[in-house]
Chain A
Amino acid sequence: MSGSTPITGYFLIEQIRNRSTVAMLVAIPILFVVVSADVLSEFASALGGSVAGSSAAALGAGWAAAFLAGALGFFQIASSRDADRRLALAGLAPIRLAVARINASLVLGIVVSLLAFATLWLRVGVTHPLHTLAAILMFAVIYIGIGTLVGSFVSGPLEGSLAVAFIFLIDAFSGPGMSASDGISRLMPTREAADLLIAAGAGRTSPTGDWLTVVATAAVALVVSSFAFWFSARPRR
């Protein structure tokens, strides 16, 4: 066994054999995109925001990917914490363990993003497919980082899932197009990704600088969460 790929495979098998995980993977992206566009528009209107129509549907797809990726990232880490640590004690380098866990989350994040994207396409059509898919994927990657980070330090499933949900709610309802206030949204991790998706939903492209910012945010999320996982899984000697 060499590298992190075979270990990633075992971690993926572990997730895929969980029927409720598979059901969530399929149902949530579809429900989010189909149901949430109108709800997001109404919420945005109530909060003083402006997102509506295709942009709201596109944003819903991003949030679907973010929510699922964050939840899966968290539960994957939290539910296997002690067994993973035992594997590290047995000699597997904690950084390889971290990479394998995050790789497994990334594969699931890609699946979720594709499902959300496909639903979006079927429901409202997509003017810039690559632009939209990439932006949805960035939502997922950033929330994989958040879920992994929370899972590395919060052991209780209730406390951890509440923490992820809390970040998600603040992020979603303070983001671009959702609120007239610009205060807290500047601190939230998906601000730029949301700008990209809103633009894609409205049929516009985005400047290269915005893309670079989103990619950098996603990369930082992965690096920080890998370090957090390594820190929590390392042998204490």
Chain B
Amino acid sequence: MVGLVGENGSGKSTLMKIIVGMLERDGGTVELDDRFGYCPQLPLLWSKLTVDEHFELFAGAYGLDESEAQASVATLVDDLRFDRYRSYRAEELSGGTRQKLNLAISMLHNPELLLLDEPYSGFDWETYTRFWKMSERLREEGMAILIVSHFLPERDRLDRIYELRDGMSEET
């Protein structure tokens, strides 16, 4: 579990977008296995679709069959405690619940690499602590996790931390 920190505007989210393929890079190379999960800083959702409809769409994109998808969704909504919102449209969710959905989508297919951009913004304290416990469990199960944030108070939980400054990353 690796952290990437940096001041506002240092390019953390830009770097993340380049890694996942949202932005074109103007140099260098990115080596990335197809089986990754990406949680963007702002929830990228369809406002009129329900939580379950989001899961169905992404399960199809990830290539999950119905039973795999159902099992994964059940675990995620339970872990993040938003089971009762599954029939709600994204536009009806609070900011924190939208972020839970945003995060859950990135983990739906149990990726080998999870790329999280400010994943806990909008979370209450209970969800925040649950997020870290869940991340530690996933790491123990073999998942690699990159967390990008301007604020990483839980440094002890991370294996390595890099700081992005003036376009260069440096291990701290």
Contacts and interface: CB of A to CB of B under 8 A. Distances in A.
Contacts of A87: 57-58, 61
A13 B61 contact: no
- Please classify how large the interface on chain A is, using the bins under 10, 10 to 19, 20 to 34, 35 or more: 20 to 34
A150 to B, nearest CB: 20
The listed residue with most A CB atoms (<10 A of its CB), out of B24, B60, B62, is B60
Main secondary structure of the interface of A (DSSP, over half): helix
B22 interface: yes
Contact of B59 (A1, A86, A235): A1
What does DSSP make chain B's interface, helix, strand, loop or mixed? loop
B44 interface: yes
Contacts of B21: 89, 235-237
B49 A86 contact: no
Interface string B5-34: 000000000000010111111000010101
Interface string B34-57: 100010100011101100010011
B89 interface: yes
Contact of B48 (A1, A18, A86): A18
Contacts, number: 65
B30 A80 contact: no
Name, among A86, A87, A88, A90, the residue most crowded by chain B CB atoms within 10 Å (CB to CB). Answer: A90
Nearest to B102: A86
B22 A89 contact: yes
Contacts of A91: 34, 61-63
Interface residues of B, number: 29
Given A17-B48, A86-B44, A236 B25 contact: yes
A88 B34 CA distance: 12
The 5 closest A-B pairs by CB, nearest first: A1-B60, A235-B21, A92-B61, A90-B61, A17-B48
A86 B38 contact: yes
Contact of B46 (A1, A83, A88, A237): A83
A166 interface: no
A85 interface: yes
A237 B38 CA distance: 15
B46 A80 contact: yes
A28 interface: no
Contacts of B40: 82, 86
Nearest to B90: A83
Nearest to B43: A83
A221 B58 CA distance: 29
A156 interface: no
Contact of B44 (A15, A17, A18, A82): A82
A237 B44 CA distance: 20
